[in-house]
Structure formats: C-alpha cells, structure tokens
Structure 1
C-alpha cells in the first residue's frame, strides 16, 4: 500500500544522513551504495554543498524576478535541491538528461547557464540552450512526454553500440526526470514498457514531491512508483530525496548499471515541494502549514552542512565564501535578465526543421510582410 506523506521510517528507503546531517549506520537498504559514499572526498562534499546553495539562490532569484514582472512564470524547486544535485552530479559528460520543467538543479550541474533558464521563462528565446552542448534536453512542459523522448534516445544509444563496451568514455546512460504526477501519464507508462523490453540504458528519476499541482499522492497511485516499476520488469529503488549523499550514491550505481548493459532502473526520490507548483499556484488552498513545517526540518542544505561540520569537510570560511558567491551569482543573473534584448520577431520560425520547409518559409514571409506593412504608421 502507499507509504503516506511522512515515511522517513520506511526500511526500504536508502538514507545516509538524518535531518541534522548525522551519518547513519549500515542498513540492508543502504548497504549496496555504502562504498560509493565512503569513497567521496572532502572536495566532493564541498562541491555538492556549493551546488545546493547556489541552486537554491538561483531558484529564489527566479521566483523574485517573476513577482517583480520580469518573468512570465517560474516553477520553484525549493526543497528538491538534494534530489536534483545528487542526480546531476552522478551523470558523466557523455550521458544525456531529459528534464521536465523544474530541473534547474540538474541544469546547473550540466553546465547550462542559469541566465538561459530565465530567458526561457521571460519568453525571449526558443527554449534557452543548445541541448547537445550540455547533453541536457530542453524543458518539456507537456507532463511526462520527456519520458518517451528519453526511452527513444536510450534505445538509439544501445543501437549505436555505446553500452557495455567497457570504455568509460564511450558507454552512455540516459536519465529522465518527472514528478509523482507524471507517473499517471500514459507517456510515462509507455516509456517503461519500451525501456524494459529493449533493456535500454535508461534511469527513470521520479521526484515524489507529494503534490501533483494540487492533487496529493493518493490521487496519482495506490502503489508507490518504486514498487510499481517491478511490474514492468524494472528494478525500483526508494531514496531519501532530501539526503544529498543518498541520492548521489543511488544515481551513481543506477547509471553505472545502465552503462554496463544491465538495463533500466527506476529511482523514486522521496522529497517535498516547499513552495507553490508554479508562481501561478496558491498551495495554501490545498495543504496545511503544519505539513510544510515538518518538511522544513528535513532541509537538504542543513543536512549537508551538518554532515560536513561533523566530518571536517568544511569550515566557517568555506561556508561564508559559498554564501558570498551565491550573492554574486544572484546579482549577475538578475542583471542579465533585466537587460535581455527582445528577439527579432522572425526568429520564431528558425530551427523548427533541420532542412528548409516550404510551409514554414511561406508563413515566415507572410509574417514579415505583415509587420513591414506598419512601417511609417507608428507600428513595430
């Protein structure tokens, strides 16, 4: 049966640190991943902590810019930083990620400039970045659709012979991201079928943030995602999505398995959306403040800092430097957002097809002629 909202005591959940960052002992659930965590260095811990702080600040800036009229919309990731950074840092350069529209943390880890994210939500570019430059697909607004895109890409990777060769620079995995609401979509379930029967090198990463817009989990499924996957012949893992070490370790192993030819894995990251679904949503209409406060105590940044302080991975100077860098990043992207030029109108017809298309060309010519007809009349 469904585990419920506050299932921190689920014995199947992979965890390595508690809410205060105290290192937990070995359990049957975390034992398969313990060696990955033990191999992590102070440098690894500092990188993850920096990612968490900067990603949260970028998200906060995006929210503020929308409220100030600079962006049309902003979907916040507040509370989900550990899930996204853990997954993003587990990917290798040659791996390919397929996000939904809230994966700002994964975008950061893949090297996508946050200014490009803001440009998309400001409406001044056609997506915001070159997907192939960072192996990070454009955001997908249609819920769950990216799962099929990822399945097809992963099948292609296998057909190209880029799986199970033993070459760490060639073997490739694919990772697809969606939320708990996305698991109720047909595209998601179809993708599981394709990935399973073809043994595609695909990791499904489900961020179970408890709410699909205004609908709770029990309106999306009666069996949690990590258990449902087994019906498709895909192993499922439940991980504490607010535990950066656990999410990184679980994703590392799943991606390694995919690259080596062992097929797909589904990871359910149990986390919480602290803010609204998007800036057009009011979560106070459907969930209680008491629920939010319970999850506030499980804050990913607090947990990571507690772990680092306990093990000597960072001092006050380091933490202060990260905060200073966060301020600098915020100022940089705010200035970039406010000074982004509007695009030339005909560019909306560019990059629709690989080759020139006569219908698109005719529509572009008609559009240009229409706007040119206002020249001299005070129009634009």
Structure 2
C-alpha cells in the first residue's frame, strides 16, 4: 500500500518488485488493487483515443526524424517506444497543471495543444523557445539535464504561497537522477512539502550509459531517501501510467507533499539523430523491447473487446498520414527570423548589458554592409 511516510518502516514504494501494470503484452487486462480504482472510467472509446494519440505522436516523431535526415532540422530527439508513458501522463492531468519537461516530451506537448511545427521550430533554428508556456501550461523544453526539476519545485512553492491549488510536474529521464539538480529539487520539495510530481521515464539509457550502471537498485527507491513516496509502473502500459498519474495528482491535491513516479519504458530509437545506438546496445535487446510495443498492446486489448483491428489501424494510419503532411508543409514554410530578434524576449525588463550587446551587434552588422547600403539588420 502506498502511504505518505510519517515514521520509519512505512512502505514508501508500490511496484518495487515488478512495475505495476494492467495490460499484458498480449493485450490481456489484469486486475491491480492499487491502479484499478483510478481506471473506473475506462471504456472502448477512451482506449481508442489513447491508441490514436500514441499513433499520431509516433507518426510525428518519425516524420521529424525524416526531416532531420533530409537537412530540414539540425537535430531531433526521438521518443519512439515511450508513447505510452507520455500519453498516459498527459491524458491524466488537468490542463492547468504546469509541466516542466526535457527535450523528449513531445507527446506531452501534443496533449497540451502545442502544434507539431511549434515543437520543431527550435530544432529548425527559427525560434528560441517554441511556444508560449502560459498558453499551454507547459514550459518550453529544457536541454540542460535535470534543470527543470528546480523550476517545477520553485513554481509549485510559489503557487502554494499565492494560495492556489496548482500542482507542478517535473519530467526527466533516468540519467537525470544522477544529476545534482534533481536531487536538490527532491530535497527542497520534501522539506517544503511542495506539490510536485517527479515523473521519471526510465528508458534504460542516459545517452549510451545503461541504467544498470547508474543505479544498482530500482530508481523509485531514490526519492524515498528524501521521504518522498513513489510508484513504479510499466511505462509501456498506457493505462498503468494514466492510473498512477491520477493517483499521484490526487495525492498532491490533498496536500500530502511531493510524489515520485517511475515509468519503466525503453527508447527504441537513438538518443538524438546524432547518436549511433548500435555502438552500445545489441539487436537482441531491441527485439525484446519491440515485442513490448505500447501501441500493439492497446490494439490487442481493443481487439479482445470486439473492436476491428483493421479499422483501428486504418484510422491510425489516416491520422498519422495527415499529421505527417501537415507537419512537413508547416515546418518547411517557417520563416527565418530577423538576426536582431535574438535579443528579444530574453529578459522581461530592459537591461543595460543586453542593450549594449544589441548595439555591438548593430555596429558589427553595419561594418559588414557595403558602402552606400543600409544596415541589413535594422
């Protein structure tokens, strides 16, 4: 039983021996006493929407990889294999709960209504941050590993100080737990009982470093050292992630302090499109995890409920094809920003240091212009 600790000896982790799950790889639904109460609203329609969400975000991800290979993007961090973890979390939360993520959580951005071209603008080099965080209640992606954990805790503490009931979610990978920022954030959240969900997608690799080298025990044990309870679930089971996320959100809204959720999943693609994963993992391992495909699991379960697998796949392919076409057209049409826009939206108020840099930039670009022509940057 998951409990908020009040004395040593309490069971702080649910799903430690084996990650909690309700959908087996063959699609069979299994009962779970912890997760089932948070799944009482699941029906065929909901399952279908979750499946289609995962299908579309996989199509967008595959198109982004293709665009990078064709020179349209500078870089792209694929999420292939992690669709259930992201869609399960994204479809469990209220739209007002603020997300702080790394660079791979494009499934969460999809759930928050961020357009695919906004997701890709940074990687194409036409924008510095992608989207308005306050429109979508989602901060733009953090590239510095683990830094977003601090941001989430600070936001949650400020929201509570203002008397609001918002919660914050910090999303990161297994490698981030080896960073000081995440551990400091855990300490602050525990000390101030900040309403933060720490959501770790354990995809088994921090770039090329396997999780077994980073930790000799399940990652969900680490937050318990700070007095933070944890759930550990099968991150390829979208229902398990959705249920655990709803349980965690309820825990936070009740004012019981921070909570940690480890979603055990797998990154089937490279760390980024500049990475060669064949150098650090073998085909047999990949084949094992391909068999645990989160989309296929839901598809098989829906078939067991009587849905037409052929119609389901057909709808997923249609939506995916539409998303691919729209994304390619939108991304290639993104306008190049004016060079001087680099200085805009850096600080909320004027700063002499930034203005000095702007003037130096103007002087430099003016010095490059041929005599008799206007400064191209003005």
Equivalent position of 1:245 in the other structure? 239
> 2:163 matched to 1:157?
no
Q: CA deviation at 1:223?
A: 2.2
Q: CA deviation at 1:318?
A: 4.3
Structure 2 residue aligned with 1:173, among 128, 153, 167?
167
Equivalent position of 1:121 in the other structure? 123
Residue range with higher mean Cα deviation, 119-128 or 308-317:
308-317
Q: What is the TM-score normalised by the length of structure 2? A: 0.92
Q: What is the TM-score normalised by the length of structure 1? A: 0.91
Equivalent position of 2:26 in the other structure? 20
After TM superposition, list the pairs within 5 Å mapping 1:185-196 onto structure 2: 185-196=179-190
**Counterparts of 1:77 and 1:63, CA distance in 2:** 10
Structure 1 residue aligned with 2:288, among 267, 290, 294?
294
Structure 2 residue aligned with 1:327, among 321, 326, 331?
321
Q: Which runs of 5+ in 2 are unaligned?
A: 1-14
**Counterparts of 1:314 and 1:103, CA distance in 2:** 30
Equivalent position of 1:271 in the other structure? 265
CA contact (8 A) 1:46 1:313 kept: no
Equivalent position of 2:176 in the other structure? 182
Q: CA deviation at 1:77?
A: 0.4
**Counterparts of 1:126 and 1:286, CA distance in 2:** 32
Equivalent position of 1:236 in the other structure? 230
Equivalent position of 1:84 in the other structure? 86
Q: CA deviation at 1:360?
A: 0.8
**Counterparts of 1:135 and 1:47, CA distance in 2:** 22
**Counterparts of 1:134 and 1:186, CA distance in 2:** 28
**Counterparts of 1:138 and 1:233, CA distance in 2:** 29
Equivalent position of 2:3 in the other structure? none
After TM superposition, list the pairs within 5 Å mapping 1:131-142 onto structure 2: 131-142=133-144
Q: CA deviation at 1:124?
A: 0.8
In the TM superposition, what whole-angstrom CA distance separates every residue of 1:234-264 from its partner, at most 9, and x where no partner exists?
Answer: 0111100000000000001101211221111
SS at match of 1:218: helix
> 2:376 matched to 1:374?
no
SS at match of 2:240: helix
**Counterparts of 2:92 and 2:256, CA distance in 1:** 17
Q: CA deviation at 1:313?
A: 5.3
Equivalent position of 2:219 in the other structure? 225
CA contact (8 A) 1:46 1:314 kept: no
SS at match of 1:290: helix
User: Size of the alignment, in residue pairs?
Assistant: 360
> 2:359 matched to 1:359?
no
> 2:198 matched to 1:204?
yes
**Counterparts of 1:12 and 1:147, CA distance in 2:** 26
After TM superposition, list the pairs within 5 Å mapping 1:43-82 onto structure 2: 43-82=45-84
Q: CA deviation at 1:83?
A: 0.3
SS at match of 2:40: helix
Superposed CA RMSD: 1.7
Residue range with higher mean Cα deviation, 143-152 or 11-20:
11-20
SS at match of 1:178: strand
CA contact (8 A) 1:45 1:313 kept: no
CA contact (8 A) 2:126 2:336 kept: yes
SS at match of 2:233: strand
**Counterparts of 1:10 and 1:35, CA distance in 2:** 19
**Counterparts of 1:316 and 1:217, CA distance in 2:** 37
Structure 2 residue aligned with 1:112, among 108, 111, 114?
114
CA contact (8 A) 2:16 2:232 kept: no
Equivalent position of 2:12 in the other structure? none
